Amino acid sequence: MNLSLLSAPFTRSDSQVQGIMAAVMLALVPATVFGVVIFGWPAFFLWTVTVLSALVFEAACLALAGKPVNAILRDGSAMLSGWLVAMTLPPWAPWWIGVVGAGIAIVVGKQVFGGLGQNPFNPAMLARVALLVAFPLEMTTWTLPSLPFSSSAPGLFDSLAITFAGAPAVDGMTGPTLIGNWKTELSQGRGLSESLISGHYNVLAAILGWKAGSLGETSSLLVVVGGLWLLKKKIISWHIPLSLLTTVALSASVFALIDGERYAGPVFHLTSGAVMLAAFFIATDYVTSPSSPAGQLIFGAGCGLFIFVIRTWGAYPEGAGFSVLLMNALTPVIDHYVRPRIYGRDLKGRPLDLPGGRR
């Protein structure tokens, strides 16, 4: 007999795992659709390939482990992982990048640890970082946005060739991302006033997402819209996004004030790369982030700090993936040391004093 029939409470809220996963995916829809629109069919194919392979890998692992394939697949977690991997890929990356990414996320990132809830690292970020290390060329070939059906947008067959036959991207269709550009220019001794502001960096375009970048990351605005909706639905709590974004903004402001030529300001940092996606969708991953509100604040701040540090002084242009993985590694430590205060006890877990100083 089912335990819920025998043991209190005899009523429960209607929140369910698959509902949560579905809500997160729904929140990803605006940014994803935007990515597909500005980067064309290849982006759509890549997204499809990545999500489908995530499902196939999950099903295969479950079958191998003798677990109920259908029941678990339906929780939506594999599809969400695949989707998140797709969000972080260059939109015109070849199909096998999506397959390998999904494989790393599901098999290495999740199933080897025992499946949902057991993995120490965020599967999507693990996949992204592994791809970046293993296939640096494919992972840093960026596409410039173009209006749908405009002359620069590839047709259906060209698109199939781009995604599935590895056709080289047409010249004039590729360009660096803003962060990548900023770092190259800096390394060549040019300051910000010469590089970004002279043409490449446009705040409005950056916020809206009209720029080169990963499939689902370019539009900070749409990512934030999805994220705020998740906050409103109480799927995620405010602690991680707020502390992450504040830390990024604060560190950027401090350094921009010290030397505005070398360090980009907070607006640049907040609107480029994967910061917003990380703040609302990646760092907030339940499984790999701390469970106490205080722990979440620390975790978010840590992610934010590492993002800024890696972007500013690291060898890789993008810091989000590494930062989140680093903080994931610290999650058990944070969870061990940062716990809520228990009713009637002080912060160290000792009973509160009685009035009059007795214990």
Binds other proteins (CB under 8 A): choice among 36, 116, 278, 325 = 116
Tell me which stretch binds other proteins (CB under 8 A): 174-182, 209-217, 264-272, 335-343: 335-343
User: Minimal distance in Å, beta carbon 54 to other proteins?
Assistant: 17
Joined together, the tokens standing for residue 265 give 């300001």
If the CB atoms of residues 181 and 289 are measured against other proteins, the closer one turns out to be 289
Residue from 166, 193, 286, 329 binding other proteins (CB under 8 A): 286
CA atoms within 13 A on the CB side of 1: 5
Q: Which stretch binds other proteins (CB under 8 A): 2-10, 53-61, 86-94, 266-274?
A: 2-10
Contact status: 347 vs other proteins (CB under 8 A): yes
Q: Please calculate the CA angle 264-201-249 and round it to the nearest 5 degrees.
A: 35
Q: Minimal distance in Å, beta carbon 142 to other proteins?
A: 34
What does the chain come to in residues? 359
Number of residues that bind other proteins (CB under 8 A): 54
Residues 6+ positions from 123 with CB-CB distance below 8 Å:
81, 84, 85, 104, 105, 106, 109, 110
CB of 140 to other proteins, least distance (A): 33
Return the structure tokens found at 7: 């043991």
Q: Which listed residue (49, 161, 237, 282) binds other proteins by CB under 8 A?
A: 237
Q: Which stretch binds other proteins (CB under 8 A): 38-46, 100-108, 110-118, 270-278?
A: 110-118
For residue 340, give the DSSP letter. Answer: P
Q: Which stretch binds other proteins (CB under 8 A): 40-48, 97-105, 258-266, 329-337?
A: 329-337
Confirm if 288 and 331 have CB atoms less than 8 A apart: yes
Residue 188 binds other proteins (CB under 8 A): no
Q: Residue 323 is which amino acid?
A: S
**DSSP conformation letters of 138-184:** HHT--B----TTSTTS--HHHHHHHHHS-PPPPTTSB---HHHHHHH
What are the backbone angles phi and psi of residue 143, rounded to the nearest 5°?
Answer: -110, 140
Nearest distance from C-beta of residue 331 to other proteins, angstroms: 9
Copy the structure tokens of residue 109: 């990132």
Quick one: 252 or 334, whose CB is closer to other proteins? 334
Among 11, 151, 187, 188, binds other proteins (CB under 8 A): 11
Distance of CA 190 to the CA centre of its chain: 30
Site for other proteins in 24-83 (CB under 8 A): 75, 77
Contact criterion met (CB below 8 Å) for 222 and 209: yes
User: Given the rule CB under 8 A, which residues bind other proteins?
Assistant: 2-17, 19-20, 75, 77, 115-118, 237, 286-287, 289, 291-294, 296-297, 335-345, 347-349, 351-355, 359
